C-alpha cells in the first residue's frame, strides 16, 4: 500500500527525472550548435585558404610574346637584326653577332634592360620578382639556355609560356611572376 510518504518520494523522483530530461534536451541543442559551428568554420577556413595561383595570366602572356618579338642590337648579317627569340636560338647554337659579340651576352643584357625598365618588382611592391627562362627540349633531352632571376620568388606565382621551333627540338620561354 502506498503511503503518503511513498507517494511524495515517487513524485520527487519523477520531477527529478523530468528535470534531467530538460537538461538532456539543452545539452543536445548545444551539441548541435557546436557541430554546425565547427562545420561552418571549416568551410570558411577552406575558402579563405584557397591559394591557387592564376590559371592563366593573360597579361603576362602578352608581355612574354612581345618580349620574344623585341628587336635587339645583334644582327646576323647586314641589316638582319635579330629579335629575342632568334637570339635565344643563336645563343643555344653558339652563334655570334655580325659585330663579333657573343649572342648569349647580348641576350642577357637585352633581357635585363627590357625587364628592369618595364616591370616593377621588389619588397615593397605587389610583385616580388620575376624569373625568365628559356629551355631547349628535344624528346627527353632538356637543356637550359638561359635563366634570369629578378628580385625574389618566395611563394605564390603565375607563369606564362611561349614556344618556338629550333629544329629538331623546340625552345620554350617562360616568365614567372612572383607574389
Partner 1 sequence: MKNLAVRYSKAQLKIQEMAFVIVAIIIFFFIAGIFVLNLWGTGLKKDVEMQRVEKAGEIALKIADSPELSWSSSSSLCENCIDLDKALSMKEMISQGSNYKDFWRSDISAIRIVLIHPKKTGECTKFNYPECGTITLFNKSEDFQYFGSYVSVCRYDEKKGGYFKCELGKIEVSPRLLE
Q: Which of 40, 149, 163, 165 binds partner 1 (CB under 8 A)?
A: 40
Q: Which of 80, 93, 120, 170 binds partner 1 (CB under 8 A)?
A: 80
**Three-state DSSP class for 128?**
coil
CB 148 within 8 A of CB 131: yes
DSSP classification of residue 96: B
User: Please, which residues bridge with residue 151 across strands?
Assistant: 129
Q: Does 157 help bind partner 1 (rule: CB under 8 A)?
A: no
Q: Does 69 help bind partner 1 (rule: CB under 8 A)?
A: yes
Residue ranges of alpha helices (H) inside the chain are 4-48, 58-68, 84-92, 103-118
Q: How many residues bind partner 1 (CB under 8 A)?
A: 32
Residues that bind partner 1 (CB under 8 A): 18, 22, 25, 29, 32-33, 36, 40, 43-44, 47-48, 58-59, 62-63, 65-67, 69-71, 75, 78-81, 83, 113-114, 117-118
Amino acid at each position: 500500500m502506498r503511503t503518503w510518504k511513498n507517494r511524495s518520494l515517487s513524485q520527487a523522483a519523477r520531477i527529478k527525472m523530468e528535470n534531467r530530461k530538460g537538461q538532456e534536451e539543452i545539452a543536445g541543442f548545444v551539441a548541435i550548435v557546436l557541430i554546425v559551428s565547427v562545420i561552418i568554420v571549416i568551410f570558411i577556413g577552406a575558402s579563405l585558404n584557397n591559394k591557387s595561383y592564376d590559371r592563366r595570366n593573360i597579361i603576362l602572356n602578352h608581355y612574354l610574346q612581345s618580349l620574344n618579338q623585341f628587336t635587339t642590337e645583334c644582327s646576323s648579317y647586314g641589316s638582319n637584326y635579330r629579335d629575342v627569340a632568334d637570339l635565344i636560338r643563336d645563343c643555344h647554337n653558339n652563334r655570334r653577332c655580325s659585330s663579333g659579340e657573343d649572342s648569349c651576352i647580348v641576350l642577357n643584357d637585352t633581357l635585363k634592360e627590357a625587364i628592369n625598365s618595364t616591370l616593377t618588382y621588389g619588397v615593397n611592391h605587389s610583385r616580388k620578382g620575376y624569373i625568365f627562362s628559356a629551355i631547349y627540349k628535344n624528346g627527353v633531352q632538356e637543356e637550359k639556355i638561359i635563366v634570369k632571376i629578378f628580385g625574389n620568388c618566395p611563394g605564390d606565382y603565375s607563369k606564362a609560356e611561349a614556344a618556338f621551333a629550333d629544329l629538331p627540338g623546340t625552345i620554350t620561354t617562360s616568365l614567372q611572376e612572383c607574389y
